[in-house]
Structure 1
Amino acid sequence: MKQFFKFVFATILGLFITFFLLIIVLVAIVATATSDKPTDVASNSVLRIALTAPINERTPDNPLAGLSFLGFDDNKVIGLNDILANIKKAKTDNNIKGIFLDESYMMSGQATTEEVRNALIDFKKSGKFIVAYSEIYTQSFYYLASVADKVYMNPKGIFEFHGFSSQVMFYKGALDKLGIDMQIIKVGTFKSAVEPFFLTKMSDANRLQVNAYLGSMYDHFLSGISASRHVNKDSLFNIANNMLIQNPEDAVKYKLLDGLKYKDELLDELKQRTGVDKKKNIKSVNIGDYTKANGNDDKDTSSNRVAIVYAAGEINGGDGDDNSIGSEKISKALRQVRLDDKVKAVVLRVNSPGGSSLASDVIWREVMLTKKVKPVIVSMGDYAASGGYYIACAADSIYAEPNTITGSIGIFAMLPNLQKFFNDKLGLTFDGVKTGKFADLGDVSRPLTPEERLILQNQVNRGYDTFTKAVAAGRHKSQAYINSIGQGRVWTGNQAIKIGLVDKLGNINDAVKSAAKKAKLKDYSVVPYPEQTSKFKNLGKTFSVEMRAQMVKAELGDNYKYYNQVKEAVQRSGVQMRMPYEVVIK
């Protein structure tokens, strides 16, 4: 009887889940059918920008956008491409009187923030206003907001201004307790991606490089605020270093804020700026909705095209997705633009910390072939490091933001030895036969022999030699010179331009203009590649993956990033070209 009720319950549950998914599909169909409806923008409107979700390179192709349930809240998700396009559009839109930077968390890299910030600076040339307001100013959001004509905050709010820091979690102690020994094979004094697995603190070389690139990023951060707020950079350093801002009044005192206002007072000022009666609501449009505003489609009808190939995320084999780089998918996109006679030039947008050495080489080959027939310009995002730099180095020229993280020219491989874990913790032992001396090379149930370690070290050495040769050829430098600035060392864009790893400082639009100029184009249209994966086509997969991620995030909170780092480390295989770790500055 128990089995009977168990099967009945399982059947009912299955029917319920199926019915629920069908409802989602129907909602998605309706959303898709109405998604092309343009957004009306009233006269004297304010463009509201509230960036509360991570900023991807492109707005996802999602028919569920605008819906908010069970973890889906893609109305908040807008790509950098649409953010920049919408700010540019608002500059000349007579219906838009100004921009309201509302409370934002800026969960994005420094280079992404830089691109949005520069777009706002360009917007101000129109003579229109920008007003910023928040209850909590993180350092990243304040850096963005500092370009505003007026920067306000809640009188009881929190203002963070205390300098940058970088922290690494080390796993060796935990691995020792579990009886797990991570066997490391690497090339590069500064290649510190593997340090958390065999050290308990930063190496001297890693501490040196982190101090250097973090200092470079911080100097740029202070310089930007100094220029916008007309406060001496040394004074800003002193304010942060001694934490002189401990309450909102201090921020006003040191001229980092223009005043303290409650939200109702801020809204009254916006009404005054737009000529709206205090008893009426402000006319506004959210930046996500503004994408569909009439006249926002500025596609050129020219038959000449500049292709932007987006390569964002960790590099692996296969197709990847919109948040990772699959060597097959990106290679296919590069072949497509190379063989398309309408495409006259290519911009490779790289935002990647690296990944698989083999997958990186597959993409590098396609970049090389494409460069032989048409100009290829690289635009670097937050990261273009290790494998991310490898796929970029073959281009005709490279653009980066001053605070882009790049370089990390180095190779490593990592293989766990789980013998003690299996034997002492689980009581498991292994035995078997093999037809050759190295038939079980890579077996995690035992340590590497000296001969096996030498074989792997030689593979890593060859990979590093290939890497440095490719960079030397692409950058027109000697291999010895590339080795001297390589060794896995990480650089900022500001540093990289001085040592020849980057050609110019600029954003993706600068790269597009450069590509068009090199192809001698006056009229051209910009076309993105590869085709985005529609969430509607993979609704079931998307639903389950996002639901799992949302549940884990809900349980772990801020510690989710550590969980994700360990999960990614376990899933990696083969020789790796990747960044030491993620750099997060709040």
Structure 2
Amino acid sequence: MREFFKYVFATIIGFIISLVIVSAIAIGIIAGIVSSIDDDNGAVLVSDNSVLYLNLDQAIVERTPHDGFANLAIIGAEGEKSIGFNDIIRSLEKAKTDDRIKCVYLSVSSPNAGFATMREVRNAMIDFKTSGKKIIAYSEVYTQGAYYLASVADKIYLNPEGALEFKGLSSKLMFFKGALDKLGIEAQIIRVGNYKSAVEPFITDKMSDKNREQVTAYLTGLYSTFLQGISESRKIDTIQLHQIADDYKIRQPKDAISYKMVDGLKYKDEVLDELKSLSGKKKKDNISSVTINDYAKSLSDHKDGGSKDKIAVIFANGDINGGEGDNETIGSEKISRSIRKARQDSSIKAIVLRVNSPGGSALASDVIWREIVLAKKVKPVIASFGDVAASGGYYIACAADSIFVQPNTITGSIGVFGIIPNFQNLLNTKLGITFDGVKTGQYADIMSVNRPMTAGERLIIQNDVNRVYESFISRVSDGRKKSKAYIDSIGGGRVWVGNDAVKIGLADRTGSFRDAINAAAKKAKVKDYAIVEYPEMLSPLKSLIKDGTDKIKTHYAKAELGESYRIYEQLKSAIAKSGVQTRMPFQIVIQ
């Protein structure tokens, strides 16, 4: 029945937007060709006495997408420009010693990045400052994430009529049980782990005690790292910062000055005059500037393009599923093939697995884990965790020789669950739809969604979930060299923040992405090496052909639903999941 409605709605939607899609593809192909010509023939010019414009309001992703169609208005790309965090880091490293770059202008209001990613970028800015070059930050509004980034600047300026948000962190979870009850849908749950709360939104209307315990722990950990970073940069005691947030003391722009959160209240023209002075320009002159995106394009992809030895960085980003995946999801086939290619290439001396994933399919996770085990037998494998490396995201990396996390990485969530919806009440009572049929075996229609599970079916599925959990903790036990009993005691689906993960042995040390690469090189005993990235990203044309329709649908859905789009996205994601899941227990929304 679910498939029936899916195809009906898909047909209607497809008919309505077919002309739009055809137009989008046609215009996109032309734009892509023009973009390709521009990219090939138009070198980025960096003038002397330039200001590096660091726009951190764009999406900061794992890898800069090679998307020639990113700026097409027809797919609503305005404001959706993105850059890989690794390109930001490489650019700041280069700019530190580039005589053409005199200073950095940091513009950030509401960054689109997780806390661990922001810390990577923040530390790169701190390193840039060791050159003696200045960072000037300006914004009309600083959200908390924006201020966390801006706090490293030599001067932080706020618009005289602007706002600085500093109130502490909060985490909200969304619960669907009330809606399901109204619709007559029962979520039948099979899980292992008291903390595996991914199923809670479907069976209750509030957080369980166990879930509240783990959310409180990881949110406190995130907040501690947040305050500590600001404290070190602004020379304000963490206790005082805590009090400022608790009492909501920054209510007016002048309050930000009083509590030394910013260095001045200025309009943008005044900030531009200061940037002119720092870059050796006169007031009447125009500023020579280069965006971080353009500057990154001018850099080589390799640390040493002439080196024979290589270190492979394999990016595992997004939900884990079977198949090929795409630039934003982890396909077990594509990632496994990349690991296998790196393992078999004798010029590649070590592998860094970069994970930013909440997990997904248990089977797909195990397929990737197997390739890591094989790779580790012939060369060093180091894992670097980003914002989230939980459940299946942890599963695929647990066999690595060493695991690096940021203090505010969210990881762990060693647990398994399955959800089988029962639509009987909705179909029979509310819609008047009934079913009848025949079968050749007692369990021929197991997993049916038009009736409740039988006791026998529940036992079969529970045993399967238990088996997957047993495999999960066994993999972690072998990889981390801990007893299964111990892994079970810190597992159970519980989520941990990076600092705590190191303390309990789920990770080896806190460190950056660059630290992980350096560790891989050291373990492989290589000094001069090139960095090669896997898997290959989809080209602009392939991306449009593969995902163009979805991008257009997503754009219009966002436009119509606004803030409610997140609710729609979560419901759609929940319905789409199939098979036993090793997935993060919830979507984190921190404000």
What is the TM-score with the length of structure 1 in the denominator?
A: 0.95
User: Are the structure 2 counterparts of residues 91 and 66 from structure 1 closer, same or farther at C-alpha, using a change threshold of 3 Å?
Assistant: farther
1:415 touches 1:444 (CA, 8 Å); kept in 2? Answer: yes
In structure 1, the partner of 2:259 is: 254
Equivalent of 2:578 in 573, 578, 583? 573
Please give the secondary structure, in 2, of the residue aligned with 1:537: helix
Does the 8 Å contact 1:304/1:525 carry over to 2?
yes
- Any conservation in 1 of the 2:59–2:80 contact (CA below 8 Å)? no
Stretch moving more, 296-305 or 318-327: 296-305
1:370-409 deviation digits (Å, cap 9, x = unpaired): 1011100000000100000000100000001000000000
Matches within 5 A, 1:219-368: 219-293=224-298, 298-368=303-373
Gaps of 5+ in 1: 1-10
Residues of 1 paired with 2:28 and 2:314: CA distance?
A: 32
Whichever residue aligns with residue 22 of structure 1, its letter is: A
Q: Could you list the per-position Cα deviations for residues 262-319 of structure 1 after superposition, in whole angstroms to 9, with x for gaps in the alignment?
A: 1111111111211212122211111111123377875431111100000000000010
Give the whole-Å Cα distance in 2 for the aligned partners of 1:295 and 1:355: 34
Map of 1:77-92 to 2, 5 A cutoff?
77-92=82-97
Deviation at 1:53, TM superposition (A): 2.8
Report the alpha carbon displacement of residue 558 of structure 1 after superposing the two structures with TM.
2.1
Are the counterparts in 2 of residues 65 and 74 from structure 1 also a CA contact under 8 Å? no
Match of 2:81 in 1: 76
Runs of 5+ consecutive residues of structure 2 not aligned to the other structure: 1-14
Map 1:344-493; keep pairs closer than 5 Å: 344-493=349-498
* Equivalent in 145, 148, 165 of residue 150 of structure 2: 145
- What is the letter of the counterpart of residue 34 of structure 1? D
Query: Which residue does the alignment assign to 1:62?
Result: 67
Aligned to 2:12: none
Query: What is the CA-CA distance between 1:31 and the residue it aligns to?
Result: 1.2
3-state DSSP of counterpart to 1:307: strand
Instruction: Report the residue type matching 1:496 in the other structure.
Output: A
Q: Does the 8 Å CA contact 1:376/1:396 hold for their aligned counterparts?
A: yes
Secondary structure, counterpart of 2:419 in structure 1: strand
What is the DSSP-based 3-state SS (H/G/I as helix, E as strand, rest coil) of the residue aligned with 2:223?
helix
Question: Within the alignment, does 1:28 sit opposite 2:32 as a pair?
Answer: yes
Could you list the per-position Cα deviations for residues 296-344 of structure 1 after superposition, in whole angstroms to 9, with x for gaps in the alignment?
8754311111000000000000100010000010001011001111111
In structure 2, relative to structure 1, the CA distance for the partners of 1:17 and 1:227 (3 Å cut) is: closer
Alpha-carbon contact 1:535-1:542 (below 8 Å) kept: no
Judging changes above 3 Å, is the alpha-carbon distance between structure 1 residues 240 and 294 closer, same or farther for their aligned structure 2 residues? closer
Kindly provide the CA deviation profile for residues 82-124 of structure 1, in whole angstroms up to 9, marking residues without a partner as x: 1111111111110001111113421111001010001001000
> By how many angstroms is 1:34 displaced?
1.8
Deviation at 1:57, TM superposition (A): 0.6
C-alpha displacement of 1:419: 0.5
- 1:350 and 1:424, CA in 2 relative to 1: closer, same or farther beyond 3 A? same
* 3-state SS of paired residue (1:311): strand
**Do the aligned partners of residues 74 and 323 (structure 1) sit closer, same or farther apart at CA in structure 2, a change above 3 Å counting?**
farther
State the Cα distance separating 1:64 from its structure 2 match. Answer: 3.0
C-alpha distance 396-14 of structure 1, shift in aligned 2 (>3 A): closer
In the alignment, the residues of structure 1 paired with residue 388 and residue 234 of structure 2 have an alpha-carbon distance, to the nearest angstrom, of 28
Q: In the superposition, relative to structure 1, how do residues 49 and 180 fare at CA in structure 2: closer, same or farther (>3 Å)? A: same
CA offset digits 1:174-196 (Å, max 9, x no partner): 00011100000000010001100
User: In structure 2, do the counterparts of structure 1 residues 74 and 173 end up closer, same or farther at CA, with 3 Å as the change threshold?
Assistant: closer
C-alpha distance in structure 2 between counterparts of 1:146 and 1:216, whole Å:
19
In 2, the alpha carbon distance for the partners of 1:228 and 1:47 equals: 21
* Deviation, structure 1 residue 73: 4.2
- Corresponding residue of 1:174: 179
Specify the alignment match of 2:553 in structure 1.
Answer: 548
**Contact preservation (8 Å) 2:365, 2:396:** yes
Q: Which residue of 2 aligns with 1:6?
A: none
Other structure's SS at 1:97 match = strand
* Residues 1:103 and 2:105 are matched in the alignment: no
CA contact (8 A) 1:67 1:74 kept: no
Letter in 2 for 1:213: Y
Q: Is the 8 A contact 1:497 1:504 kept in 2?
A: yes
TM-superposed CA distance for 1:444, in Å, is: 0.4
Alignment of 1:522-541 (within 5 A): 522-541=527-546
Structure 1 position 248, deviation (Å): 1.0
Q: Secondary structure at the match of 1:202?
A: coil
Could you tell me how far 1:19 is from its partner in structure 2?
6.5
In structure 2, C-alpha distance between the alignment counterparts of 1:53 and 1:557, rounded to whole Å: 19
Conserved 8 A contact 2:28-2:72 = no
Distance of 2:26 and 2:205 partners within structure 1: 51
Change (3 A) 1:298 1:458: closer
Q: Which amino acid aligns with 2:37?
A: A
1:5-42 alpha-carbon deviations (Å, 9 max, x no partner): xxxxxx9x989975764343222112102203221111
Question: Structure 1 433/395 Cα, relative in aligned 2: closer, same or farther at 3 Å?
Answer: same
User: CA–CA distance in 2 between the matches of 1:382 and 1:410?
Assistant: 19
Q: Which amino acid aligns with 2:379?
A: K
Question: Take 2:190 and 2:318, find their aligned partners in 1: how far apart are those partners?
Answer: 24
Structure 2 counterpart of 1:33, one-letter code? I
Name the aligned partner's letter for residue 293 of structure 1: S
Identity of aligned residues (%): 56
**1:15–1:254: structure 2 CA closer, same or farther, 3 Å change rule?**
closer
Change (3 A) 1:196 1:489: same
Letter in 2 for 1:432: G
Tell me which moved more, 418-427 or 553-562.
Answer: 553-562
SS at match of 1:105: coil
When structure 1 is superposed on structure 2, of 290-299 and 313-322 the one drifting more is 290-299
Instruction: Supply the distance in 2 between the matched residues of 1:154 and 1:95 (Cα, whole angstroms).
Output: 29
Query: Matched residues in 2 for 1:294 and 1:107: separation?
Result: 24
Judged with a 3 Å threshold, the aligned counterparts in structure 2 of structure 1 residues 299 and 548 are, in CA distance, closer, same or farther, namely farther
Structure-2 residue corresponding to 1:208: 213
SS of equivalent to 2:52? strand
RMSD across aligned positions (CA): 1.8
Are the equivalent residues in 1 in contact too, given 2:309–2:347 (CA < 8 A)?
A: yes
Partners of 1:469 and 1:21 lie apart in 2 by 48
Query: Which residue of 510, 519, 522 corresponds with 1:517?
Result: 522
- Give the TM-score taking structure 2 as reference length: 0.95
Q: Which residue of 2 aligns with 1:38?
A: 43
**Secondary structure of 2:83's match?**
coil
